Structure 1
């Protein structure tokens, strides 16, 4: 029997109405829900992770399991919320877009640059990551100031926070700018540059893998950059307030330092004694 087109439209509309009424209230609201309401109603915490981003993120290609500093922090937060942790894969470049499009609830491991602060919100710092140097053999500057001389060549990846750092500090030192951080590292290894500035969690890992590159130096006074969590910009501030209080509690109980050091050891075989003693996370 053939159904009249008008009747088919009526039946389809009725089916959609039934489906909508049977769906959970939070699902009906969809994107209209604040992040806080979505998490509480769905009992899920959505994050994204970056493959090959050790010690922050590392994916086991055999099992698909994620590990790393930021994964441990996310698991801690999910447990506190009584929520299931859902992990999607992204890139550092796409993480901000994932937040803006409401694909994830939080992204761990972003530095709050002025450009990012225009489009997403940030938590208070999870920890401060000290700036260090990969210095060529035989070169070990004790202070940042002593490197501001034409005799010193510094290698950086163009447009990075390291580029910004040395550009604002130095007027006399020679600065070589490369498209990729690995190319700046190679410049030190081959003797084209004296140092490459990197946060200590990265410089220690690079030198650990290839000791022939040089050594890790943390000049004084210690300069650092904060590692924060990125959040979606929204009028409802309950989620941001909750995350900030959670971070404050982690810091009060010194829970972050062992998470960072533990993952440096587990994922990169970097022992505490290989991180300059002046550095604390």
Structure 2
């Protein structure tokens, strides 16, 4: 299934995309596409619905973040060896873990807000994993079974805040609008090869990132298992798993986003995003 949330910001409704690409409302079956809706039992019930019986949503709609009420937004850094090389670092012997604020989460086509004082606003197309079952101290098999689905994430980053302002990466990763997810969550049963998905990102029509999840060092099931040794994971948690090469910081000379720039990105089978950069109020 392709599960979505549509409508104005803060008032999104749950829905799915049917086999013909139509938007079908799920409000009679679940309150939201959130942790409760992503349990194995709930997903099985949703999959059993005759989609033709669901209300058809017509007209152009805003898509919100594909997961609502996210509890944790965990990210993995330097998880592609070629991306690590372009940043002048090496892949660490264990995953680099950092958090984005859940207030950074936005819809796939919402604006990227350039923070006040930003000078190095960057992009990162990433595969995000969405948790569907409580998991702690899991092996990889248990971790894989806890994955409800996958979605596209743009790990927007402010490199001066991240690297030059001292301390942890959080300052450059958690700003408002720095975590667009969606357009939809594709359930795990429909993503046969999450370790072999083409991914790309363009800025103003120029392609900067053109990679594949097969070059990921630490794979999704391992990442979920690894994280579960340090923190329990709950349904609705989102884990963004790193980016391939081609980020702005890796260009020579470096290239960064400015107000008016358009970023477009996508992952094979998981949909596309499109964002315009605007100035913070």
Shorter-chain TM-score range:
under 0.3
Structure with the greater alpha carbon radius of gyration: 1
Give the TM-score taking structure 2 as reference length: 0.24
Q: Which has the higher strand share?
A: 2
